[in-house]
Structure 1
Amino acid sequence: TLNINCLYAQVNTDLIVLDVKVSGSKIGVYSRTAKPITNREAYDNQPAFINEKQLAFSAADDKGNHDIIIYNFESEKFTNLTKTPNTSEFSPSLTDCGLYVSAVTVEEDGKQRLWLYPTNFGEPELLYDDIEPVGYYDWYDNKAAMFVLGNPNTLVYPYSKEEVLTIDENVGRSIKRKPKSSIITYIDKNNPVEEDGAITYQILGFDIEKRTHHQFGFTIPGAEDFIWLNKNLLLMAHGNQFYYRKARDEEWIVEGNVQLQSHEGISRMAYSPKLKKLVVVMNRKTD
């Protein structure tokens, strides 16, 4: 069986923060401001801003369990949202209502389902008991569009208990709602295109309200993580370099990089318009 621990390959990763400036159709990345938020030989990954001051992420403890940690940019302190010896929590995100941080939880029997963890540290709640194994997801209208592991992997959206729509099959791990819209975007792995010896995929969208499909061009070759900076701008990275483009343009524009002696290879990213900060995941260099 394919489980989430295979998905989240356990390399030693850290969270790196940079100052950025996004204006309309451009981003400026201040490469020299890059500095580690976490700095240890373990898995710190999957950053998600949950408000103007706080970032949630998944972190491995010394026994290999994964918990959701909250980092506060003002105090520069870390707090455990979860501290579970027998389950692991991945992919944190703030729910639409703002009262919970959701997470994919690997339960004691190996089930991978979406749970809600109250931001006031109350008792967690299971969200969809019969949708699993969940890998990744994003929110629209208090419901989660979920990447469900399988052969093939599918993207589903539960309009109701009775209607769980399969939006697409053979999708990538980036499931992102387009800001200020009802469109869930994702990477389509059905028709890969080879470019300069690397694979590029189409970025597609599904409008939850209108039930229409949309196209947003192709990924940069050799990368699969994308985020929206605003309703027009997409950001990706490859190696230590950032690339951005307007959703309707074809050409990616190179903008800024991360130059750290200790880290290489940007993967997941999170952006806070209020803080004007970009948090990225990078691999620790091995000696």
Structure 2
Amino acid sequence: MCYHFIIPIPKTSFFLLLLSIMLFFKPAAFSQEASDVFLVDAKKNILGFKVFSSSIEKITDSKRYDNQPKFINDSQLVFSSEDDTGNVEAILYTWEKDQFTNMTRTPNKSEFSPDLTSCGQYISTVTVEEDSSQRIWLYPINFGEPELLYDDIQPVGYYGWHGETAALFVIGEPNRLVFPYGREDIHTIAQNTGRSIQKRPGTDEVIFLDKNNNIVVDGKTTFELKAFHTQTREITSLGLALGGSEDFCWVDKNNLLMARGKELYLRRVNKGIEWEKVGTFTIPGYGNISRLSISPDTKKIAIVLERLD
């Protein structure tokens, strides 16, 4: 087993279906607006990083919530998808085959923020349970019985993996970002942080937005990017995030992507504070970019666009 203080809990068998039924509770942490997932080609080499906006391809098409994509390898991603009853499941998409597979089928639960664990054996999610609890569950990729992780930490709104440990956004007054070193050592990193929690490649750092001190830049609210060093438990600054934006992902150790409106921006964290526009996506019937993710080989970017109809 890859993880600490996991609690196995029996559950009905999984099936390879795309949709399931009934949702009793919805998570307060998520805004379920109609949206679709798109794929875009990209290229990284010694000359820099380029996004091919004209290559954009829609991979979902419904008037419901298809969102929170995350690449699990160079040919597959997982995302959360809402059916016509309001239930949300974790879906695996293989783009070379244009194939969708349900990783969960849970009539009385909903799964958000799917990701692959470091051992490659589970799809993790924030699961909204029958009693409205929000905790991290692990769903085996072989469709075995699911397992509950960090059973005593909730309600979880978002999370980000750092090796075998998940940094957790715990909903409350105020919200807290915590790092569970062990059952008796749940370290609070910061309060009032952003929803995006990402490991910085090649480092021991967990990156997040500090929303305690608003800064207005060019008329847009801007927050500071902070790095939590898991070995020393120190926090350092990476400068300002993109104004008017919250979600981000790493191209590599030094290049960070964020989106604002219909545009995608890149910042070279090790060279300065300027954000460079690298892509614009004007698609009829769609509005702003709400989420983004990049494949490990940096050849594909998944973006989520809000539906206007």
Structure 2: which 5+ runs fail to align? 1-24
Opposite residue 28 of structure 1, the aligned amino acid is K
Distance 1:4 1:133, change over 3 A: farther
SS of residue matched to 1:6:
coil
Deviation at 1:230, TM superposition (A): 0.5
Aligned length: 284
Deviation at 1:4, TM superposition (A): 6.1
The answer to whether the 8 A contact 1:34-1:259 is kept is no
Task: After superposing the two structures, state which structure 1 stretch, 41-50 or 21-30, moved more.
Answer: 21-30
Opposite residue 159 of structure 1, the aligned amino acid is Y
Deviation at 1:25, TM superposition (A): 7.7
Question: Where does residue 293 of structure 2 map in the other structure?
Answer: 270
Which of 166, 174, 177 is the aligned partner of 1:155?
A: 177
Question: Where does residue 14 of structure 2 map in the other structure?
Answer: none
Question: Where does residue 92 of structure 1 map in the other structure?
Answer: 114
* Identical-pair percentage: 46
Question: Where does residue 166 of structure 2 map in the other structure?
Answer: 144
Which of 154, 176, 197 is the aligned partner of 1:132?
A: 154
The answer to whether the 8 A contact 1:25-1:246 is kept is no
SS of residue matched to 1:191:
strand
TM-score (norm 1): 0.96
TM-score (norm 2): 0.89
The answer to whether the 8 A contact 2:73-2:296 is kept is no
Question: Where does residue 53 of structure 1 map in the other structure?
Answer: 75
Taking the aligned partners of 1:181 and 1:211, their CA distance within structure 2 comes to 13
SS of residue matched to 2:108:
coil
Opposite residue 111 of structure 2, the aligned amino acid is E
Q: CA RMSD in A?
A: 1.4
Which of 29, 39, 58 is the aligned partner of 2:61?
A: 39
The answer to whether the 8 A contact 2:198-2:207 is kept is yes
SS of residue matched to 2:125:
strand
Question: Where does residue 252 of structure 1 map in the other structure?
Answer: 275
Task: After superposing the two structures, state which structure 1 stretch, 259-268 or 174-183, moved more.
Answer: 259-268
Question: Where does residue 20 of structure 1 map in the other structure?
Answer: 42
SS of residue matched to 2:173:
coil
Which of 106, 109, 113 is the aligned partner of 2:131?
A: 109
SS of residue matched to 2:28:
helix
Question: Where does residue 237 of structure 1 map in the other structure?
Answer: 259
Taking the aligned partners of 2:218 and 2:75, their CA distance within structure 1 comes to 41
Question: Where does residue 142 of structure 2 map in the other structure?
Answer: 120
Deviations along 1:60-113, whole A, 9 cap, x unmatched? 011101000000012101010001110000001111111101000000000000
